[in-house]
Amino acid sequence: MRDVKSYCGILLDNNNRQPICRFHFNYATQKYIGLFDENKNEERVPIDDLDDIFKCADRLKATFDFY
């Protein structure tokens, strides 16, 4: 995990070139999880609470497969 000013990044092997996801909790009304595709393009998916992360499990596992 690497915390920066605008998000909290989850990295593979503490390598910023291998992001798993990003948590954007700084917004007052809506929280987001940033999911990556094979080209490392981030898609922000809105979440209401932390349990919504489990809905993204397949995409998170697919990100591990890219690396």
Q: What is the pLDDT of residue 13?
A: 93
DSSP-derived 3-state class of residue 18:
coil
Cβ atoms of residues 42 and 34 within 8 Å:
yes
Which helix (H) or strand (E) element contains residue 11?
A: strand 8-11
Domain spans, the chain: 2-66
What helix, strand, coil percent values describe the chain, rounded to 5? 30, 35, 35
Of 10, 47, 9, 55, nearest to 31 (Cα)?
47
pTM of the model: 0.86
Tell me the average pLDDT across 9-32. Answer: 91
- Tens of pLDDT, residue by residue over 45-61, are 999 988 999 999 999 99
